[in-house]
Amino acid sequence: MIRLIQLEWEKFKKNNVFRTMVIAYIFLLPALIFSMESILDFIDFPLKSKSVFFEFPLIWKFMAYSGSWQAFFFFGFLGVYMVTSEFQNRTLRQNILTGLNRSAFFGGKLLFATLLSALSTLYFVVITLVLGYLKSKNVEFESATQGVTSLSFRYFLMTFSYLNFGMFLGYILRKNGLALLLYFTYIIFLEKIIRWWLQSKVLGVEDKYNLYYPMNVINDLTPLPLKEMMKQVTSFPAQYHLLEPNLAVALALLWNVLFLVIAYTRFKKMDL
């Protein structure tokens, strides 16, 4: 297991794309919160209190929501790149010829993605604690970290899900540009079109089933804290539908398993 992770690390530790994505995440995770605070100071938004969003306990959910956008871009990009670069640079063929079997190669990618997700989650926890203590007054550690274990796991799963979906498309398409195009197109546009077409034109079922599609499930792991916002905003749109956290976790795990099974089956059968 450690050998496989070390092999992946040796491949990417000096890679400019890998470095750029990781450094951008490290820098932007705290920077976007400061930017959001500055924006709220200048816009006319019906808030009872602006500071509450950047204090404990609400800062945890806002940081998680902010981090989900960065994970979508940076880690999803990495997921695609980590796989497609192996095909395009022919390092995969070289690994197989030197004795690494396909299962070990696939497992190495999976382990490395898990490690990246764990490290990104650890960074999220540390930076949120630091920012929260800087912004909050007279807060105890126990109250500051209430509910963090559950949220941290959902953050880890959210990050891993974007990485996994990116790798899934990498195994299916093998071409970096095509896989990236489909990754961003599917998440931003295509899933919404598919679920509208299936729900209204084919199945004729209720809109609530829209919540169960893969990217919506991943989004609902670390959503914008709407309930908390409604308490602070004097006027707010009436109705939003979110999955319950435990249901979002269960569905995300199912979708991840499905992506892994399809990707592994495709990888085992493909010509290299």
- Domain ranges in the chain are 2-269
* Separation of alpha carbons 259 and 225, rounded Å: 28
pLDDT (tens digit per residue) in 201-221: 777 666 667 889 999 999 999
What mean pLDDT, rounded, does the chain reach?
89
pLDDT at 42: 61
Nearest residue to 122 via CA among 36, 55, 260, 29: 29
Rounded mean pLDDT, 14-43: 86
Over 60: is that where the pLDDT of 114 sits?
A: yes
Rounded mean pLDDT, 220-225: 92
Rounded mean pLDDT, 248-261: 98
Over 60: is that where the pLDDT of 145 sits?
A: yes
Over 60: is that where the pLDDT of 233 sits?
A: no
Over 70: is that where the pLDDT of 243 sits?
A: yes
Residue type, 178: L
Three-class SS of residue 267? helix
Rounded mean pLDDT, 224-231: 66
pLDDT at 238: 47
pLDDT at 32: 85
